[in-house]
Amino acid sequence: MSTPRHWGTVMSAMVTPFDGAGRVDLDAARDLARWLVANGNDGLVVTATTGEVSTLTDDERRNLVRAVSEAVIVPVVAGTSSNDTAHSIQLTREAQGLGAAGIIAVGPYYNRPPQAGIEAHFRAIAGATKLPVMLYDVPGRTGRRIAEDVLLRLFREVPNIVALKDATGDPPAAAALVAQAGEHFDLYSGDDAYTLPLLAVGAAGLVGTTSHWTGPQFQRMFAAFRAGRVAEAREVHASLIPSFRFVNSDEAVYSMCVKAMMRTLGHAVGDCRLPLPPCPPNVEQQAREVWKGLGR
């Protein structure tokens, strides 16, 4: 395949820093991006779910993609999609000129189209760019899973659709996809806790959240597994379980928890934008305990 398709092994879906007035802080975004690269991330995803993309204006999205792409030398993949195909096409067309190395396109949420609409949506987005495209299947947020036959057609028929971020929690289905079309796409874990099971069925990498602070551990886990040191990979995975449990709960979801951890580590990322509220104080304490227990 001529289209580049592998952006790195460990990638973080980066939070979007806001200042005290709730404005996007581009300087803080550049600093955070550089820190992530220095701490185990060999690719970054911006303006996506963890980056609170649904609360960003188009200009804020463009500015973030440009700023982060200029700040680091690793590939930066831009979230350019929504549940509006025409809007997604517009943002996708702009991504390459902003420095993005690829785009990530999530399944259409809220309107929950049938599979024919999902397929047409992704074909339209991919057709709007020469950049490689990663599909993102996260039915817990979109309300509709991408059917296997749709994925197989897209991987086989659309040259620049080259990867899947899998947040379905279904390793057997991922194994079936890899078995049928593994030469056409790279599988990325989209749920940190499922990374080791997905490695076992052929995953190429992770697009994560806890990887904001566990990048070195994930790199060790990938290296150990690929070298046949499976017991070592399991040990690393076990050390990450408190981070997996911390990052999402009924009182604080992913963006909130990642920002709490980043603030604990001294990064000026601010709070989230509504409808995500400020973190309860106990979440900051949990972040300190998780970091201390990581045993870096």
- What residues are labeled active site? 136, 165
DSSP assignment of 201-228, as one string?
TT--EEEESTHHHHHHHHHHHHHHHHTT
Asked if residues 213 and 41 have their Cβ atoms less than 8 Å apart, the reply is no
Number of residues written out for the chain? 296
CA-to-CA distance for 9 and 231, rounded, in angstroms? 20
Q: Look up residue 236 and give its DSSP letter.
A: H
- What token pair was written down for 97? 């000129």
Q: What residue type is assigned to position 150 of the chain? A: V
